[in-house]
A and B are shown apart, each in its own frame.
Chain A
Amino acid sequence: MANMVTLKDSIPCEYCGLPTHRGVRETKPHDDVKTYCCLGCRIADGLMQGSDVSAANRTALTRLALAIFFTMNVMVFTMVLWTWNVHEIADEARVHAFHEVLRYACLLFSCPVLLLLGAPLVESAWESCKLRIFTTDVLLLAGVVAAFSYSVFSLLFDLPHVYFEVACMILIAVTLGKWLEATAKLKATNALRSLRQLLPETVRRVEHSSETVIPLEAVKINDRLRILAGERIPVDATLVSVSAVIDDQVITGESIPKPKEAGDSLYGGSLNLSGEMIVRATSSSSGGAIARLAEAVESATHWNCRSIRLADRLAAWFAPLIFVVCLFSFAYNMQPGFQHALMSSLSVVLIACPCALGIATPLALWVAINTGARNGVLFRNGDAVMNLAAVRSLAIDKTGTITSGKLQVSETFYASTSDAKTVDAIAKRLATASNHILSVAVYDALDGTPDSDHGDAFMFANLTDCPGKGVSAWIGSASAGALRTQAVLGSVRFALESGMSIPDDLQSRIDARPDLSIVCVAFDKQVQGMFLLAEYLRPEAVEVTRKIKDLGLKLRILTGDVSGRAESMESSIGVETIGELLPEDKSNQLKGMPQPVAMLGDGVNDSLALAVADVGIALDCGADVSRDAADVCLMGNTIVNLPWAIELARATRSTIRRNLVWAVSYNVIGIGFAATGNLNPILAAIAMVASSLFVLVNSLRLQSFDVAGTNRHAIEFDLTNEQTKKAETVSPSTSELLVASP
């Protein structure tokens, strides 16, 4: 198989867009002839030329239809010939004459079939011969020629049997089977084609006070665009208008529309559900989320996974093997007669046609990858689907997956002698000096509160960001115009190191909550207040972990937090949690879990574990589907689709197994019957089409595995109930809030 193409060289099929595994034309790079992955796609493309159905080229379809019409006639003549001996014969001479008329009618009506459908098969076989690849198309063509030639010979020399109907049925079955296969491939990869068509052809660009309508391709980065209610955002952009409600389900798979504020990022292809809005483009038309997603999915379908590579290797041996079986069958059945031997060999060729076997794995994987992408789950390749289906355990990096990854101030305490207004004002001003996640959380909590807007009453100097500790500054009253004391915002240790004391009432608070992150604000030689920061569990976390456990996976949460926080997590969510882990410890933890193991992370500080795991699953990849460490990307910033993704992978694996069991059983049993002369070629042809149809329908059923929406709604419903119960019975400080260190 020296001519087998590599993935890199693979040319996409002109009809269905899938890789041309056989690489029929890759040896002629300058050839402008269209490239197809199979004979079926060549036929189907001929049938459906032109994007508009009414403008489609009907000639090829008419040819197939006419061939079927002529074959129906041949079949009726043949049936009459086959039942001749059943009836009582009155006048033998006239009957013989009529018999001859029917035989010639068979010849007359089968010639058009040969002309109409034989040409593509001849062309395909010729291509294979030129590349010295022995395919089943060569065998099928040989079968057609043999059946037709023998029948003509039989007619001319008055031999008893003719097999025109066999030649016609082979051609019809092969053409119909290949066309069905090509149509199924097109259907499997149709999701992203329709996704691209969602984008508008023209957009409104706003320049100063004027507005011009320009083609989508003309949009440049930083262009200001006006989007009306109900329109899709044409490219990735940031919101300039004050607020908007956006439905980005096509990218993230999340069905709930999200409110967006000015400055928020928007995915190209998202739907504007609110009124008119202005956005600023952050990508060109070719670099938006939809283009990236489509590119990633195309790349996934172009990747030959292990099982497809194995099937390709087997296919290379299949045709020569079948040729040997044909010879054996011919020799074995020569005893009853030449006709019987010929028919047995033809049956072997037909029943052994590996259409179903060849398409059993790739078609199911293509459908799964496209179905996943349609629901906000991007499988990097076919192996990712198969590996995810096989995993027995799942490790979850806590921060950013089970929890939101964003710290929030859950509680604020002030010293009994402090003025809350002053403490908030100083804390807010100090927080602006650092980009640390804790400073940002404190600033976010105080921003907009009336008490914190008195920063102007103080003057600040020597604002210093001490990495890993906090912020310090000298402050004084603005009215006095003099600096009088040092102020710090940071950890308890930093406050102590800065010479601050901790009042007893605040010390008791610190002792009571060892599992929380604490930020102190101190001045006048003592800690004046402190902010307790918590990381919130994602609302879907409890339901999702329960569902994953129901799927039979061993679950473990890994975190770098102190043990106290890990224990708090374990008790609140009911999943084993291991704390105080460094990134390399997390990857070591995976080895102790039932194999194969999947790792879910946000891709920030768990890249090593994601890469080490059998399946790495990353979150919130909508903006960056090219993240390499993950095999599976959840496009939205939610884990709600994770159980569904595992179920889809398992359903795909089951579908592939069913397909393979069917295809292999069909071939083995069928070849057994055919080789021993117990299978009529016409039945073999019908069985061949039926087998392909079974595999196609079985694989395409995965398209309706669209339970993401159902699951989401079910979870949302459950969560509503769950949260209501929690609010009534459980203190938020112990169950909904979980502390994490960044």
Chain B
Amino acid sequence: MIELPLIFVAGFLGSSHCIGMCGPFAILLGTAPSSWKTGLLRQLIYSAGRVFTYSVLGATAAFCGVQLESMASQIVNIPAVLSFVAGCFLIYQGLLSTGFAGFFKKQSSGAPCHASGVLRQFLKSSAQTDVFLAGVFTGFLPCGLVYGILGMAGSTRNIGLGMVTMAVFGIGTIPIMVATGFGGKLLSVANRRRILRLAAWCMIVAGVLAVVRGVYFFNLTTATASPIDSCPFCP
């Protein structure tokens, strides 16, 4: 997949946005440990939990894509549609982040999420298992960036590849999240905004590539080339 490096970069740069929402969790993690080694370990375990959830979500999205394809491949060119829709969604998310499509954005309001109380218990715990579980649940938090990449994972039509897509994205988010856990304010708001714009452009490029791929699939006839990949676990 040509998009994987882009997805990694989108994850890396996009996590500058994540520290707005998930940053406090990383900082909470940093308050408990006595040494920097323990702190680093906790941060990595926490991120592993997030990557795990992203991978499962990627697998689920890909599974849904596969099922959809097996059910309706006779009616429409499902791989092409999935790839096209995922690309459009990525572009839309990218435009949102750059501010070009700000008028589409719906503001969130209401009471604080009840999940925070549960997450806080895990984050402040000294047990590594709890830290990992905190990462697992943080992975479920709603995030436009995640949705975008998830759309991409869904279009892979391959559970293994879907998992890899989301895992690569998750791994990309680790460096800045770990740095946030240590420094807290390493990046100013202005710098975060600039980096986020870069990430958004990465998403747009990845989205355009997905759209192009979708269009390419549309143009393929089922007789000449089946877009179904071979099994990812087979040699």
Chain A residues engaging chain B, CB cutoff 8 angstroms: 53-54, 56, 58, 61-62, 65-66, 68-69, 72-73, 75-76, 79-80, 82-84, 86-91, 94-95, 98, 183
Contacts and interface: CB of A to CB of B under 8 A. Distances in A.
Contact of B56 (A75, A89, A90, A183): A75
B184 to A, nearest CB: 21
A53 B121 contact: yes
Contacts of B159: 76, 79-80, 83
Contacts of A62: 122, 127, 129-130, 133
A53 B231 CA distance: 48
B60 interface: yes
Interface string B211-235: 0000000000000000011111111
Interface in B93-151: 114, 117-118, 120-122, 124-125, 127, 129-130, 133, 136-137
A301 to B, nearest CB: 22
A58 B125 contact: yes
A87 B157 CA distance: 10
B26 interface: no
Contacts of A94: 234-235
Of all A-B residue pairs in the complex, the 6 with the closest CB atoms, nearest first, are A87-B231, A79-B63, A65-B133, A90-B234, A72-B56, A76-B59
A58 B124 CA distance: 11
Contact of A61 (B56, B70, B118, B234): B118
Given A79-B60, A83-B66, 20 more contacts: A53-B120, A61-B122, A62-B133, A65-B122, A65-B137, A72-B53, A72-B136, A75-B56, A76-B60, A80-B59, A80-B159, A80-B160, A86-B70, A86-B228, A87-B231, A89-B234, A90-B230, A94-B234, A95-B231, A183-B114
A639 to B, nearest CB: 32
A643 B81 CA distance: 55
Contacts of A68: 136
B14 to A, nearest CB: 23
B235 A61 contact: no
Contacts of B137: 65
30 contacts: A53-B120, A58-B130, A61-B121, A62-B122, A62-B127, A62-B133, A65-B122, A65-B136, A66-B129, A72-B52, A72-B53, A72-B136, A73-B56, A76-B59, A76-B60, A79-B63, A79-B159, A82-B63, A83-B159, A86-B228, A87-B228, A87-B231, A88-B231, A88-B234, A89-B231, A89-B234, A91-B235, A94-B235, A95-B231, A95-B233
Contact of B117 (A53, A82, A83, A91): A53
Contacts of B130: 58, 62
A79 B235 contact: no
Contacts of A84: 231
A90 B118 CA distance: 46
B121 to A, nearest CB: 5
Nearest to A83: B66
A88 B228 contact: yes
Nearest to B59: A76
A75 B231 contact: no
B133 A95 contact: no
Given A53-B117, A76-B56, A79-B59, A87 B133 contact: no
B234 A87 contact: yes
B136 A69 contact: yes
Nearest to A76: B59
Nearest to B234: A90
A189 B163 CA distance: 43
B136 A75 contact: no
A88 B230 contact: yes
Given A53-B120, A66-B133, A86-B66, A98 B235 contact: no
Contact of A58 (B114, B121, B232): B121
A712 B118 CA distance: 37
Given A53-B120, A68-B136, A69-B133, A91 B56 contact: no
A56 B121 contact: yes
Contacts of A76: 55-56, 59-60, 159, 163
Contacts of A69: 52, 133, 136
Contacts of B163: 76
Nearest to B233: A98
A64 to B, nearest CB: 9
Q: Which of B137, B159, B231, B232 has the most CB of A within 10 A?
A: B231
Contacts of B232: 87
A90 B231 contact: yes
Contacts of B118: 61
Interface string B10-37: 0000000000000000000000000000
Contacts of A73: 56
Interface in B40-62: 52-53, 55-56, 59-60
A66 B137 CA distance: 11
A54 B136 contact: no
A267 to B, nearest CB: 29
A81 to B, nearest CB: 10
Contacts of A56: 121
A177 to B, nearest CB: 15
Contacts of B230: 87-88, 90
A65 B134 CA distance: 9
Contacts of B228: 86-88
Contacts of B70: 86
Interface string B66-77: 110110000000
Contacts of A58: 121-122, 125, 130
A68 B56 CA distance: 12
B229 to A, nearest CB: 7
A356 B80 CA distance: 41
A287 B179 CA distance: 57
Interface in B157-175: 158-160, 163
Nearest to A187: B114
A65 B140 CA distance: 13
Contacts of A72: 52-53, 56, 136
Nearest to A87: B231
Nearest to B129: A62
Nearest to B139: A72
A56 B105 CA distance: 39
Contacts of B158: 87
Nearest to B132: A69
Contacts of A82: 63
Contacts of A90: 230-231, 234-235
A73 B136 CA distance: 12
Nearest to B118: A61
Contacts of A83: 63, 66-67, 159
Contacts of A98: 233
A355 B55 CA distance: 32
A82 B66 CA distance: 10
Nearest to B124: A54
A701 to B, nearest CB: 11
A90 B231 CA distance: 8
Contacts of B124: 54
A61 B130 CA distance: 10
Nearest to A98: B233
Contacts of A54: 124
Nearest to A78: B63
